[in-house]
């Protein structure tokens, strides 16, 4: 009976940790999107990114951590009507994949406006109890 109670207790503890990770990853995913496409706050970005992050854009370019932070800071495009949808999380030990759709109006410096429709995959790693973005790839969808 003692073993059964211990097993049930461990099961509930593990389930609580999994829910906690899901909440944290969801929160960080929204924060990353809001920071990249909104506030462009480089301090926040620095806290979200792993040291060796690979950041892939829908047009094919990939950036390192420093390139990505500089690129976001320099980007003068404004994004409006932003929407994150179809969020799906997959967690395995200290690695997580988050997939979602991102839509926005891209308002460029020259005055032109484009609809932005992306499918984005994020890879997060747990580093000292903190989830950090290790990889990101965006693909344009029609």
Rounded-to-10 torsion of CA 6, 10, 16, 19: -150
Tell me the C-alpha to C-alpha distance, in Å, between residue 65 and each of 22, 37, 47, 54, 117: 24, 17, 11, 7, 24
Sheet with 78-92, edge to edge strand ranges: 62-63, 49-56, 130-140, 113-127, 95-107, 78-92
pLDDT at site 100: 98
pTM: 0.85
Query: Average pLDDT for residues 29-38, to the nearest whole number?
Result: 96
Distance, CA of 26 to CA of 22 (rounded, Å) = 6
Domain holding 124, by residue range, is 2-140
pLDDT digits (tens, 9 = 90+) for 57-77: 999 999 999 999 999 999 999
Distance, CA of 131 to CA of 128 (rounded, Å) = 8
pLDDT at site 142: 85
- pLDDT tier for residue 101 given thresholds of 50, 70 and 90: very high
Domain count of the fold of the chain? 1
Residue 98: strand pairing partners: 89, 122
CATH of the domain at 80: 3.10.450.50
């Amino acid at each position: 009976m003692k073993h059964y109670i211990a097993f049930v207790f461990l099961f509930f503890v593990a389930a609580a940790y999994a829910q906690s990770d899901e909440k944290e990853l969801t929160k960080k995913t929204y924060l990353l999107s809001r920071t990249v496409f909104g506030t462009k706050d480089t301090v926040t970005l620095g806290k979200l990114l792993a040291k060796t992050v690979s950041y892939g854009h829908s047009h094919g370019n990939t950036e390192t951590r420093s390139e990505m932070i500089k690129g976001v800071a320099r980007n003068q495009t404004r994004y409006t009507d932003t929407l994150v949808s179809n969020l799906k999380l997959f967690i395995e030990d200290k690695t997580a994949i988050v997939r979602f759709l991102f839509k926005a109006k891209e308002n460029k410096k020259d005055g032109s406006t484009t609809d932005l429709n992306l499918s984005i995959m994020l890879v997060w790693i747990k580093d000292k109890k903190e989830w950090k973005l290790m990889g990101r790839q965006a693909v344009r969808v029609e």
